[in-house]
Amino acid sequence: MAVALSTSDPNSYSEVEKCEVTFLDWDVAIDFSNTTISGFAHLTIKRKCDTLDNLVLDVRDITVENITLTDCGRECEFEITNPANVTFGSKLIIKLGMMVAESFKVSIKYRTSPQASALQWLRSEQTAGKRHPYLFSQCQAIHARSLFPCQDTPAVKFPYTAKVRGPREITVLMSAEREGRDPCTDDASQIISKFAMKVPIPSYLVAIVAGDLESREIGPRSKVWSERELVDAAAFEFAETEQMLQTAEQLGGPYVWGVYDLLVLPPSFPYGGMENPCLTFVTPTLLV
């Protein structure tokens, strides 16, 4: 007989009846050599009960280095349990050790595993251009917990910002609006891409892609992205995107996500499509 992991969601350890994530500030670096992502997940938490001794998050194949209460700088003790049911990953128990405010922040320094189920890494020879490696994520349904510590349940929605460091020759995109790129002051070969998602979303809609990507404008609020070998064919295929958006708005109301970009992925993408906010992932089999 299956046993629910928590009272609020049978597939999540997080105790959302006690607290919930209200904001994510993600500050990470992509390491293609070791096929990992590392850095910080800065989480803003809303306490929903009178007292909160522990903050419980979902993780899977994640190494946590340290955790601090951001506002006071106090380091927290934590433990990661390893249940027999590996399908759902592990429970990250953060021992707060003090009375916390109704809204508080924790900073989690961590790194993903090369086996992270949310991430697929391609060597340069596996791409169309064969020039640079490629990374893409797929967090639906419960794989976000292998990308960053989170309440991996659709019951919790949060806006997020991100700063992603990666090789200068690599373009990074996320399920968020692009906010420019900054040079790395300590390494000229690296660049920092910045993003902001203002609409609250569940964890499974956090998405990232990094590769040798180019874009073509296909409408006033849309671009299509792909490797250069496919981008013109993709632009032709999705040339009527704005017309489709306007028709959808007539039926369902204004489009709230700002931009509607499309990303044509490599053939190894295992889905027909994934409707990530601001950046819909689609299979290259749509190109004719």
146 Cβ partners below 8 Å, 6+ apart?
59, 60, 61, 62, 89, 112, 113, 116, 117, 118, 119
Determine contact, residues 45/104, Cβ cutoff 8 Å: yes
Q: Which amino acid would we find at residue 169?
A: E
Over residues 21-67, the pLDDT tens digits come to 999 999 999 999 999 999 999 999 999 999 999 999 999 999 999 99
Give the 3-state secondary structure of residue 124.
helix
User: Distance from first CA to last CA of the chain, Å, rounded?
Assistant: 47
Over residues 245-261, the pLDDT tens digits come to 999 999 999 999 999 99
Indicate the pLDDT class of residue 1, thresholds 50, 70 and 90: very low
User: Average pLDDT, whole number, for the chain?
Assistant: 96
Q: What is the mean pLDDT of residues 2-27?
A: 92
Over residues 205-229, the pLDDT tens digits come to 999 999 999 999 999 999 999 999 9
